[in-house]
């Protein structure tokens, strides 16, 4: 009896209750128009859920009911018994198609009468009132399979008030937070609906399993891209010609340039991951890492990732390597240059890099005369852990974020400390490395050491890495 080939769900309700937000979340489409101004959606718009070129289902965003009571009055006057309810709704739309008073009602009823299922959305933070009865009654008259969703826009909770009236009209009533719903909750909504309509059971169950598989593939792809970035960042160095006349401000500029290149590599990885999860219009506010003493390698920064110095020591994240593997500028061949103009440059750099023991730097003589400063790679042994910690944190945020959210993604300290606090409350755990099994931690340490030492990774290293990262991500299915 459906004119649609695919499972189709019309999202309906009062204006401004989060209908478009639900469409956005369930279709993973950030381009759906969401607005605090009611009346933004005036015509239906359909959003297909596509995976690998196949459309699994479609969601139809509709304008909110405007005159449900008058519409219901008309229908009651034109109905003689329950057996003609559906036909009466059809007649109503037929007769009022051109009537501007009932534009919204005719729009939203049209796909339902063509066979779309109904997701009726109410806001659980506003009280129930009898004005909703007419909406629910009209929907019931259509005879289409339906489910009620309690979204929560504000702080207040009137869920209890809503339970009874909703239960009278809908077989399934669920709470569903359009902005916060986890991926699993989204999939459960689909499978819930599959129980309501026989002809959709198979396609919707299949859609759910395809979505889970897609999620899994994306997480694996994301961890592959993280490891590639980690390798590039760990190997990165820059060669910069230096002259006798090089000045200190020039040197500052060069170090800044080196740092910016690393920041750009990290940013490119973030964009890639955001694209992978279809967050195309995402605005992100990020604390850039910088290679200054009181930033990347300070205890302050570690604590941003939930690491205390003690933890770093016990997990082996700090330790041993720092002193030994470091090629301190100011030592070895470089001292040759001391005393010259170049020496002044190097001397300045030494104070800058040397004290922090983090970036390998050397001066090379060029065959045709002149010298180059080779800056990088970063040799501080915490580098890979910090970069990885930041990447995992970002990926976790992206995986948790619904497409209904339009606010800036804040990866700064505040949000991080909040999420760390939450993690601590629920599990007593802090940094991702705390959640690792002992053998995982060992594997990861050895993989990160290989990366730090610029040794090639084996296929099995990569697979282990992928698995370890994936397990840190919400919505990962074993």
Ligand X SMILES: Nc1nc2c(ncn2[C@@H]2O[C@H](COP(=O)(O)OP(=O)(O)O)[C@@H](O)[C@H]2O)c(=O)[nH]1
178 contributes a contact to ligand X by CB under 6 A: yes
| HSE-CB of 85 using CA atoms within 13 angstroms | 11
**Backbone dihedral region for residue 143 (phi beyond 0: left; psi -120 to 50: alpha; all else: beta):** left
Binding footprint of ligand X, residue count (CB under 6 A) = 20
Binding mask 247-266 for ligand X (x = CB under 6 A): --------------------
Q: Which is nearer to Mg ion, 33 or 412 (CB)?
A: 33
Within 10 A of 356 (CB to CB), how many other CB atoms are there?
17
Cβ distance to ligand X smaller for residue 119 or 208? 119
- Rule CB under 6 A: is residue 155 a binding residue for ligand X? no
Q: Which residues have CB under 8 Å from 206's CB, separation 6+?
A: 56
DSSP code of residue 335: G
218 in contact with ligand X (CB under 6 A): no
- Minimum distance from CB of 154 to ligand X (Å)? 7
User: DSSP labels for 366-423?
Assistant: -TTS-EEEEEEEE--TTHHHHHHHHHHHHHHHHHH--TT--SPEE-SHHHHHHHHHHH
First vs last Cα of the chain: how many Å apart?
39
Cα–Cα distances (Å) from 249 to 42, 90, 226, 255, in that order, read 59, 77, 34, 10
Query: Measured between alpha carbons, how far is 312 from 310 in angstroms, rounded to an integer?
Result: 5
Where does this chain touch ligand X (CB under 6 A) — which range of 34-42, 321-329, 439-447, 452-460? 34-42
Judge contact between 390 and 396, C-beta under 8 A: no
Least Å from the CB of residue 439 to ligand X: 41
Tell me if 27 contacts Mg ion by CB under 5 A.
no
Among residues 36 and 369, whose Cβ is nearest to ligand X?
36
Q: Which is nearer to Mg ion, 35 or 422 (CB)?
A: 35
Q: Are strands 359-365 and 238-242 parallel, antiparallel or unpaired?
A: unpaired
- Rule CB under 6 A: choose which of 144, 151, 269, 472 binds ligand X: 151
Residue 461 touching ligand X (CB under 6 A): no
- Return the range that interacts with Mg ion (CB under 5 A); candidates 19-27, 174-182, 282-290, 468-476: 19-27
* Dist CA 434 CA 197 (whole Å): 45
Residue with tokens 């470089």: 334
Residue that is written with structure tokens 């009236």 in the block: 165
Nearer to ligand X, 149 or 273 (CB): 149
Nearer to ligand X, 38 or 95 (CB): 38
Interface with Mg ion: number of residues (CB under 5 A):
3
Which whole-number Å values give the CA distances from 21 to 106, 121, 350, 379, in the listed order? 22, 10, 54, 46
| Distance of closest approach, residue 21 Cβ to Mg ion, in angstroms | 8
Would you count residue 20 as binding Mg ion (CB under 5 A)?
Answer: yes
Task: Give the nearest distance from C-beta 138 to ligand X in angstroms.
Answer: 17
Establish if 361 lies at the interface with Mg ion (CB under 5 A): no
Contact call for residue 430 and ligand X (CB under 6 A) = no
Least distance CB 91 / Mg ion (angstroms): 27
Residues that bind ligand X (CB under 6 A): 15-21, 34-36, 38, 40-41, 64, 151-153, 177-179
């Amino acid at each position: 009896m459906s004119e649609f080939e695919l499972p189709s769900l019309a999202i309906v309700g009062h204006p401004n209750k989060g209908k478009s937000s639900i469409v956005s979340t369930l279709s993973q489409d950030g381009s759906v128009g969401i607005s605090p101004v009611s009346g933004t959606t005036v015509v239906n718009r359909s959003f297909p859920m596509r995976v690998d070129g196949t459309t699994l289902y479609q969601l139809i965003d509709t304008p909110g009911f405007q005159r449900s009571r008058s519409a219901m009055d008309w229908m009651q006057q034109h109905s003689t018994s329950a057996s003609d309810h559906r036909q009466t709704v059809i007649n109503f739309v037929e007769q009022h198609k051109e009537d501007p008073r009932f534009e919204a009602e005719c729009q939203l009823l049209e796909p339902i009468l063509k066979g779309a299922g109904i997701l009726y959305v109410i806001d659980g933070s506003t009280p129930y009132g009898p004005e909703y009865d007419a909406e629910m009654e009209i929907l019931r008259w259509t005879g289409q399979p339906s489910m009620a969703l309690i979204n929560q826009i504000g702080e207040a909770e009137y869920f209890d008030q809503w339970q009874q009236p909703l239960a009278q009209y809908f077989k399934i009533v669920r709470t569903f937070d359009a902005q916060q719903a986890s991926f699993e909750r989204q999939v459960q909504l689909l499978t819930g609906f599959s129980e309501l309509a026989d002809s959709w059971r198979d396609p919707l169950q299949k859609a759910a399993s395809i979505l889970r598989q897609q999620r899994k593939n994306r997480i694996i792809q994301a961890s592959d891209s993280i490891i590639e970035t980690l390798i590039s960042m760990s190997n990165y160095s820059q060669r910069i010609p230096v002259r006798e006349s090089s000045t200190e401000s020039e040197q500052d500029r060069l170090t800044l340039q080196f740092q910016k290149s690393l920041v750009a590599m990290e940013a490119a990885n973030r964009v890639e991951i955001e694209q992978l999860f279809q967050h195309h219009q995402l605005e992100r506010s990020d604390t850039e890492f910088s290679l200054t003493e009181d930033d990347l390698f300070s205890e302050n920064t570690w604590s941003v990732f939930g690491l205390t110095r003690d933890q770093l020591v016990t997990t082996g994240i700090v330790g041993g390597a720092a002193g030994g593997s470091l090629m301190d500028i100011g030592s070895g061949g470089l001292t040759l240059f001391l005393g010259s103009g170049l020496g002044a440059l190097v001397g300045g750099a030494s104070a800058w890099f040397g004290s922090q023991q983090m970036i390998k730097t050397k001066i090379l003589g060029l065959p045709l005369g002149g010298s180059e400063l080779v800056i990088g790679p970063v040799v501080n042994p915490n580098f890979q852990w910090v970069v990885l910690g930041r990447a995992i944190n970002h990926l976790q945020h992206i995986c948790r974020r619904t497409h209904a959210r339009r606010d800036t993604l804040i990866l700064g300290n505040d949000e991080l400390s909040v999420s760390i606090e939450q993690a601590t409350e629920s599990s007593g755990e802090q940094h991702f490395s705390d959640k690792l099994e002992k053998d995982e931690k060992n594997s990861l340490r050895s993989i990160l050491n290989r990366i730090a030492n610029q040794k090639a990774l084996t296929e099995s290293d990569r697979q282990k890495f992928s698995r370890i990262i994936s397990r840190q991500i919400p919505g990962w299915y074993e």
